[in-house]
Amino acid sequence: MSIEIILIAIIVIAVIYLLSLRNRNKDKLEKELRTPEEILPEVQQKLEAGENKIKLIKYVREETGLGLVEAKDLVEGNLETNTVVSEAELLSKVQEMLQSGIGDIKAVKYVREQTGFGLKEAKDFVDNAKKSQAINNSD
């Protein structure tokens, strides 16, 4: 075998592997996330059945989009599942923050602090707030 054939084979295998990773990540992104309130009864049942806490924390993160600390707190029963403010109040506050030029990162951090959302869920909330703000401004 020549070195060229071996290199081509390695490149083909690498491309196939990368495409499979891409499809796996796409499936994860398309999955609809559940709220902590929705998953809490299931978590409690699994804990009572003796499920491994680490596996359960990973499951909670995948299902809800919560961060590691929030998922651990939910599994251990320390997560406050009620938000401090209503969704409408939070949306209004985030839109005010964005209008004042505070920036997306600080708005996402604020949403996470107020709700216990994971990074992706909080970012999606801020993005939706920006979209609804743009729609309201165009009217």
Task: Give the integer Cα–Cα distance in Å for 118 and 115.
Answer: 9
pLDDT of 2 > 60? The answer is yes
Q: What residues have CB less than 8 Å from 56, skipping those under 6 apart?
A: 43, 46, 47, 75
Question: Both tokens of residue 79?
Answer: 């997560």
The predicted pLDDT at position 139 comes to 58
The predicted pLDDT at position 82 comes to 47
**DSSP track, 47-96:** HHTT--HHHHHHHHHHHH---HHHHHHHHHT----S-SS-HHHHHHHHHH
pLDDT digits (tens, 9 = 90+) for 22-61: 776 555 555 678 888 888 888 888 888 888 999 999 999 8
Question: Both tokens of residue 100?
Answer: 């004042």
The predicted pLDDT at position 80 comes to 55
Task: Give the integer Cα–Cα distance in Å for 8 and 46.
Answer: 48
pLDDT digits (tens, 9 = 90+) for 103-132: 889 899 888 878 778 888 889 999 988 888
Question: Both tokens of residue 65?
Answer: 């989009």
